[in-house]
Structure 1
């Protein structure tokens, strides 16, 4: 009897009682694997994930790929009454006219200067702000600061330009009065060509720097915390921990964002530039985006303006591929 009792106790301890089979395991069964070769079964298993793709696919199909049909008018003398197919073919004539236009060097120079200013000032400030926010240990303070720096992103450029006009308005703008009293001058910041670019860069920093920290803060959350503890034990200060652990930990994210930023260099932003442009600062304010609007919409040169926009897009593609290849050449993780 004692041997039978011990045997039952042993079986119960291993999950095998009177009502269970001794040869079966007590572990929960895994769901059956979906064969990857059968797309119908695969789609049925992940149908909700594919459903989430629909809005993005529709957006890019309607607003990104469908308009590419109209790019062909860059090689035609487009006449609205004849349509895209009925307009006569002129080849690269519009591109030749654009490159030989006296405005081309000025447009290229203005666009590149603004692009490099935004890339060299606004982009690093986004990383610096993310690093500063990452060092804040008080949770409520960190969330408050994040909210405050995110808010300007949701304001339209019309509101940003209106605020700029109120702050720098001649004779009554508070910043106009303060800066002129400090410098002892009487500068009209909104009309002076020398102040147009600083104002554009300051607007870009105020509006988008906080929003740009989201991706970098997400990357900072993936850095191994054990490395910080080891560095503290070794006597590394806060700056050295940031330099030797934090920045290398988000290097791949920085490179990817830099490649995307370089690809968008010539897209200086139509709304911002257009709203801040006036007759006195037009010499430094005209860029490709505003030029396309003035020539294409106000003057009706549809084919010529399309050629200008296509040139800008092709330059952006070349910059993306070139920067990505350069990153791969230095053994860094690129965009693709």
Structure 2
């Protein structure tokens, strides 16, 4: 954890450069009252709401049903804010959300707490990270190289695509990294994250687009709507494959797979180059402890961290699996682990 916190807080762009004030939502506390209910609702961010993810969502649903004996209602969404609000308000009992979305939901309602997070390859929290990328179209990456290293200086004045301003790896982390890097340059010494939200003639970016999903941000890049795009490795892993270079390192080139599902189905063979890579804390399955009974909370923690789920090939996909999954393919000892709310403090620091 200490290693990850240091990485996140420093926000050093690998190989590129050496809060929410809403009122807390008052939700009746099911855990303390001991009350339970017959249905458990789980909400999904837009990234995991597509048709290609249906089997993966349903498998998590089956785990929940088996563990609790309750019916599971799946709630797909088209906007990050909808998922955050559903979890904070108690309209959803569970949600698989990014770290920033979790922090926002927790700020709205302290009864929102992490249930589990996927570990890293080691089976521990030491490497429980995924990666935020800044990307350009293949063939345009030379402009972002200085000597033998990639630099992000040329992104100023470009058309930029983010995911959502509630996305950790699709906005919060890359924008913080951009501010950290450019604020050391006199011309941009007063640059803030808010300056990156919109484009314009006198803005840092000439135009700013939001893909709504990581997939959508990648499509903005590949279709020429944006010059640079932020999205993460895990959210596009089902649609692209490494074409050259080293995975999750600047200079890596990825190509849209043959037969890729929507929204990449018309972009087969299109390539992009990664110019910046920053590690991000893994995303939690979060719970609303005000609507989920203490008994169900324990059952779910026990089930999700069990060997049965760890070894479930529909949850943690085997290496080289052709199926669509939410979590990185199993290359080591990946599993779900429990964490406390404080584990996400490095993400909270990004908003200060």
Q: Which fold has the larger relative contact order, with Cα–Cα distance below 8 Å and residues 6 or more apart in sequence?
A: 2
Which of the five TM-score ranges fits, normalised by the shorter chain? under 0.3
Higher relative strand content:
2
The TM-score normalised by the length of structure 1 is 0.25
Larger Rg: 1
Higher relative helix content:
1
